[in-house]
Amino acid sequence: MFKKVLVANRGEIALRVIRALREMSVKSVVICSEADKNNFYCGLADDSVCVGAAQAASSYLNISQIISAALVKKCDAIHPGYGFLAENHHFAEICASYGINFIGPSPETIALAGQKAEIIDLMKRKKIPVVPGSKGVVPSVKEAKAVAAAIKYPVIIKATAGGGGKGMRIVRSEKDIEQAFELAGAEAKNAFSNADLYVEKYIEAPRHIEIQIAADKKGKVVFFPERDCSIQRNHQKVLEESPSPQIGPKMRKKLGETACRVAKLINYTTVGTVEFLVSKDKFYFMEMNARIQVEHPVTELVSDIDLVKLQIALAAGEDLKLKQDDIKEICHSVECRINSEDENYMPSAGVIEKLILPGGPGVRVDTAMTSGSEISPFYDSMIAKIITYGRNRAEAIERMKRALMEMKIEGVTTNIALHQKILQDKNFADGCYTTDFIGLMK
């Protein structure tokens, strides 16, 4: 097992990793920017290092400073959390060159998983169901039009790198494809320093289903109960739950076994997520996320397995002791992402003047915010993740309604009202929702 781990992230995921390391009796060192150095979670690690100015490029994306911090503090591993450098294969390669363990898959696997056009082409060759689309990167509008004509509109243009809904445009006719191609490319270049795009058939109103997997270095892979991430806005997840209210045992088994096969095909190790689109009785591989996910708590609660500890242990070379039959669905769980945002759903910076967090039976809160914390314009605007669980879906939802009612935030605007509206919607209550749910919600 590792002796000391550098936590190369911020906020609630940094705190989540620090807590896991402490329970594993592993020393932790957390990095921070000038903007974050007084945040309380920095004092919960065994040590902290300020690596640069508030801008992410000067701190949380500053590879030389992060590696220097790890070497000076004599860390034998780095945990990247999610976002920032978590899926940067160059960073993983540099860690290895300095003898530092990267808590995640190999640089080669990260690189393949990050090139979405390439991994989809691989899955197609290996007979994994994929959405019809271009063979690799589409370099020009002319070729994008040719692909779209072949697979028929509507299509979706996607960035090959990154995620979070950036660099994506839905196109319903040829007259709109040129502008969409240019906008998606510009957004991808700005967000990921990579303007490469590919084109897929747009599946109308599917469900977005994720399968969490865990794999060791000997090739053993297991899967967990699925997460339904269909409730999205602008391709960004808003609310997740596990298990999905519309996935039965037969489909669950197919998805899980396919996810394990995907992991083996790309030599995946540690924990990760295979994402699928599900439409009626068909499913399509979408992408592989080579990191821990924002929504991992719902899987932890449903399975009663600590995914962060498991990730660290597997990265340290431990064998996967879990058997597939050991993974049970013991409850139902729902997660709401509470963000600071205005009435147009745009991120809103400011100081949280008052913060009262919910509690009681069946409620978990993942946050690094307190009263007086600042929502910085330099980083993501998420304030907290509220996760509830119950003996069944109805109980988990009722507990979430109570938790949202108990939560009080003053000083910044939030999306709590949106979550309350979702939970009151009849289609959500019935479990009858797809990725277009928010747009159709009355």
**Catalytic amino acids?**
291
Best CA proximity match to 284, nearest among 232, 207, 171, 229: 207
Cβ–Cβ < 8 Å for 314, 269: yes
Q: Is 218 left (phi over 0), alpha (psi -120 to 50) or beta?
A: alpha
The stretches of 266-316 forming alpha helices (DSSP H) are 296-303, 307-315
Are the CB atoms for 30 and 81 separated by under 8 Å? no
Contact in structure between 208 and 236 (CB atoms under 8 Å): no
Quote the strand ranges of 148-249, DSSP E: 155-159, 168-171, 197-201, 207-215, 221-223, 227-233, 236-242
Q: Is 389 exposed, middle or buried (0-12, 13-18, 19+ CB in 10 A)?
A: buried
Max Cα-Cα span within the chain: 60
Contact 40, 373 (CB under 8 A): no
Rounded CA gap, 197 and 122, in Å? Answer: 17
Contact 117, 198 (CB under 8 A): yes
Residue among 4, 13, 112, 3 nearest 60 (CA)? 13
